Structure 1
Amino acid sequence: MKNNLLSFLIFLACATATQLLSQRVAAQTTASAGMTLDQLKAVKAIKIANLDKDTYLKSGAFILDRYEERPAYVFNYTDGITRKIYLYKVFSAADTKDLGLLAIYQNTKTNEIKPFVIPGASADRTAWDAYIDDLKYVGEKEPGLMSTLTFVLSREMAGLLEGGGGKTDEGGAKKKEEYNFCFAPDAPVTLPDGSAKAISAITAGDVVLGYNAGTKSVAPTRVTRVDIHESDSFALTAVWLTPANEMTANGRGTLATPILFEATANHPVLTDAGRKALGDVQAGALLFHIENGKTVPYRVIRTEQAVRSVKTVYNLATEAGAYLVGETVVLDK
C-alpha cells in the first residue's frame, strides 16, 4: 500500500512539474506551435547516435537542441546503477517553432534508452494523453526512472522561476545576449558554386552550401530565415585556423598562413568534440573546413575574445541545419 502511494505521488509530482515547465517555457518563447500526436510519435522515434556529443541535430522534420546547453543529469543510486537524463528542446525544422521537450532516460548498466516527449502547453490533448501514458506504463516499470525525471523537471522549473533561461528585458524583449548567435555583415557565406556572398546580402529563399554532419558531405541547402539584430555593440570572438594534417602550404618548409574566423561568442560551430560555442573553443581544437567538396580538419592555433565589435549581426536558418562561413562549417542557432 505504501509503495503504491509513493508511486502515485511521484507520478503526480512528475506530471505537475511537466505541465508547469511546459507552460513556463512556452511563455518565454517568441515562436511556438502546438504539437500533434503524430509529431510526438515521430520525435519519440528519433535515434541519437551519441547522447553526450550530439547536443544539436536535425532529424527529418525536427531539430533537437540540448536544453540550455545542459550536460546530462547523472544519478548514482545505492543499487550501483548510474542513471542519466538528457533534455532537448524540440523545434519544427520548417519554421523553427518550439514544439516541446524531449527527455531521454538512460540506464548505464543495461544501456536501455527510454524517451519521453513532453508537449508544449498549446499541444493537442491527444499528445498530452500519450505523454501521461508513457509516464504511467513505461516510467513505473523502470526502478529509479520516475524519481530522476521528476527531479530534472522540477529543477529546471525552479531555475525558470528564478529567472534563468529565456532572459527578457522589462518590456518582454529578449536581452542582447540572446542574440549572440550571429556574424558580422561582411561574413562570407559559401555558395554552391564555390563563390562567397556577404551574409548581409543573403535573403530567405537563397540557396547556399550546406553541410551534413552525418555523412560529412556538402550539398546545396535553402535559407529559410535570416535573423538581423542591431545594437550599440556586438563583440566578436576570433579564432585562427591552419590545416591539421599538414605543417606547410607550399612544401618549402614555411608555415601556412592562418585563416581568421569570427562570430559572436555563443554561435555554435562543429568541432571534433561536437557542437561548441565559438567562445568555448580553445587552441588545439579542430574545426572543419571544406576544400574541393571535401571535409578537412583545421586546428585552432589562437583565440581572442572581443577582437572587434559591430552594430549589426546576422544569422541564417537553413534546411540542412548547417552552412559554411569562410568555408568553415557552422551550425544554425
Structure 2
Amino acid sequence: MRAITPAEYAKVKAIPLKSVEKHTYIREQGYVFDRPEGADGLFTFNLNDGIERKIYLYKVSEGTAMNGVGSLAVFTAPGKQLKLYIPNKLAPKEVWNQYIVDLKANNKLADGFAVCVAYMLSQLKTEAVADTTAKEEKDPNDFCFPAETFVNLVDGSEKHLSDVIVGEMLSGIFSGKVTKVEKHEGSFRLTRLLIKPHGQAWVSAKVHGGLIALEATETHPLLTLTGKKKINQLAVGDWIFVRDAVSGRFVTAEIAAIQKAARTVSKVYNVRTESGSYEVESIVALDKN
C-alpha cells in the first residue's frame, strides 16, 4: 500500500470502466481494478422507490509491484454511472478533502448516491472508514435511546421505542424484523443532536425551527456521509441521513449543534434488527454491533 498523489487521484477517476457488471478484473492505463466476487464486491439497493441501484467496489493497484492505492466505487442506476475514488489511510489531506467534495457533488447528480455509498462504507473495513470498534466500549447499556424516541415502521406508522416488540418490521436502508428489544435501568446521560435537513420542505411535527432533535447515549452508531460513526465521534457540520416526511426519500442533513450531557434518564432502550439499520425520529441509525 502507498499514498496516492492528487494528480493520480484525478487520473484514476477519469479512467473509463466499461461493463463493470461483467468484469471483476480490469487493467487500464497502468492500474488494476480488482472486484471481489460476492457481497464484498457488489451491493444492491432498493430504496422504496422501485429503482434498483448498485455499487461495484474495486480495489485499485498500480504498477508491476501492485501497490494498493485505494478503492473505486462504481455507482449505477438506470441511465446513470458515477465513480467515487476512496483513498487509503496514507493519502494526503488534499486527496481526502477532494474525496469529500466528490462525494457531495455526486449526490447532486444521482438521487440515492450518498446514502448507498454511506451504507456500503458502514459495512466494510475499508481504509476510508474510521475504526468504530473502540476498545473502551465496555458498558453494554451505553448504546441506547430514551423511551419516548419514535421509530418508523414499514407500514408508515411510528411508535415509541419502549413499545416496540420482537417481530415487528422497522423501516431503514433495508426493512428489517426486530430480533431483540433491550431495556436498561440506571442513570444514563444523553447527548442531544440538533439536525438540519438540506433543502427540504418538511411537514413532520418533529421539526421545530427547521431542526430535528435526537437524544441517545454517546456511543450509539448513526449512518453518516462517510459511513458508520458513534455519536461521540460526530462533529458540527457532519452529514447524516433522514427520511423526508413528504417524499419518503432518504435525504442528507447536517449536524447543527451537539449538546453533551443534555439530560439524564433512568431507562433506555435499544433494538436489534435483521437488516442492521432502522430509523429513529426519521434518522438512519445502525445496530450497535
Q: TM-score, normalised by structure 1?
A: 0.44
Residues 242 and 256 in structure 1, CA contact (< 8 A), matched pair in contact too: no
SS across alignment from 2:146: coil
Q: How many residues align?
A: 164
Instruction: Encode CA deviations 1:87-126: one digit per residue, 9 max, x unaligned.
Output: xxxxxxxxxxxxxxxxxxx9x9xxxxxxxxxxxxxxxxxx
Residues 147 and 268 in structure 2, CA contact (< 8 A), matched pair in contact too: yes
2:232 pairs, out of 279, 293, 302, with 279
Specify the code of the residue in structure 1 equivalent to 2:266: K
Percent of residue pairs bearing the same amino acid type = 32
2:192 is the counterpart of 1:238: yes
Q: Which residue of 1 aligns with 2:263?
A: 308
CA change 1:286–1:196 in 2 (3 A) is same
Unaligned runs of 5+ in 2: 1-36, 44-64, 71-87, 91-133
SS across alignment from 2:251: strand
C-alpha RMSD over aligned residues: 3.2
What is the rounded CA distance, in whole Å, between the counterparts of 2:135 and 2:225 in structure 1?
A: 27
2:223 pairs, out of 270, 291, 296, with 270
What is the rounded CA distance, in whole Å, between the counterparts of 2:235 and 2:221 in structure 1?
A: 14
SS across alignment from 1:226: strand
Residues 239 and 303 in structure 1, CA contact (< 8 A), matched pair in contact too: yes
Residues 142 and 217 in structure 2, CA contact (< 8 A), matched pair in contact too: yes
Question: Max radius of gyration: which structure?
Answer: 1
* Aligned pairs (5 A) from 1:207-226: 207-212=169-174, 220-226=175-181
1:324 pairs, out of 271, 279, 285, with 279
What is the rounded CA distance, in whole Å, between the counterparts of 1:178 and 1:83 in structure 2?
A: 37
* Aligned pairs (5 A) from 1:137-286: 165=135, 177-212=139-174, 220-231=175-186, 233-245=187-199, 256-286=209-239
Unaligned runs of 5+ in 1: 1-43, 51-78, 85-105, 109-163, 168-174, 213-219
Specify the code of the residue in structure 2 equivalent to 1:279: N
SS across alignment from 2:199: coil
What is the rounded CA distance, in whole Å, between the counterparts of 2:158 and 2:283 in structure 1?
A: 12
Post-superposition offset of 1:290: 0.6
What is the rounded CA distance, in whole Å, between the counterparts of 1:313 and 1:49 in structure 2?
A: 36
What is the rounded CA distance, in whole Å, between the counterparts of 1:268 and 1:48 in structure 2?
A: 24
Q: Which residue of 1 aligns with 2:14?
A: none
- Write 1 or 2 for the structure with the bigger share of helix: 1
Post-superposition offset of 1:307: 0.6
Specify the code of the residue in structure 1 equivalent to 2:243: I
What is the rounded CA distance, in whole Å, between the counterparts of 1:286 and 1:49 in structure 2?
A: 24
Residues 162 and 269 in structure 2, CA contact (< 8 A), matched pair in contact too: yes
Residues 242 and 298 in structure 1, CA contact (< 8 A), matched pair in contact too: yes
What is the rounded CA distance, in whole Å, between the counterparts of 1:323 and 1:184 in structure 2?
A: 16
What is the rounded CA distance, in whole Å, between the counterparts of 1:201 and 1:249 in structure 2?
A: 26
What is the rounded CA distance, in whole Å, between the counterparts of 1:45 and 1:288 in structure 2?
A: 27
Post-superposition offset of 1:295: 0.6
SS across alignment from 1:288: strand
Residues 147 and 162 in structure 2, CA contact (< 8 A), matched pair in contact too: yes
What is the rounded CA distance, in whole Å, between the counterparts of 1:249 and 1:47 in structure 2?
A: 36
Instruction: Encode CA deviations 1:252-272: one digit per residue, 9 max, x unaligned.
Output: xxx952110111100000011
What is the rounded CA distance, in whole Å, between the counterparts of 1:249 and 1:192 in structure 2?
A: 20
CA change 1:322–1:249 in 2 (3 A) is closer
SS across alignment from 2:162: helix
CA change 1:249–1:226 in 2 (3 A) is closer
What is the rounded CA distance, in whole Å, between the counterparts of 2:136 and 2:223 in structure 1?
A: 24
SS across alignment from 1:223: strand
What is the rounded CA distance, in whole Å, between the counterparts of 1:280 and 1:182 in structure 2?
A: 16
Specify the code of the residue in structure 2 equivalent to 1:180: D
Q: TM-score, normalised by structure 2?
A: 0.50
Post-superposition offset of 1:46: 4.6
Specify the code of the residue in structure 2 equivalent to 1:289: V
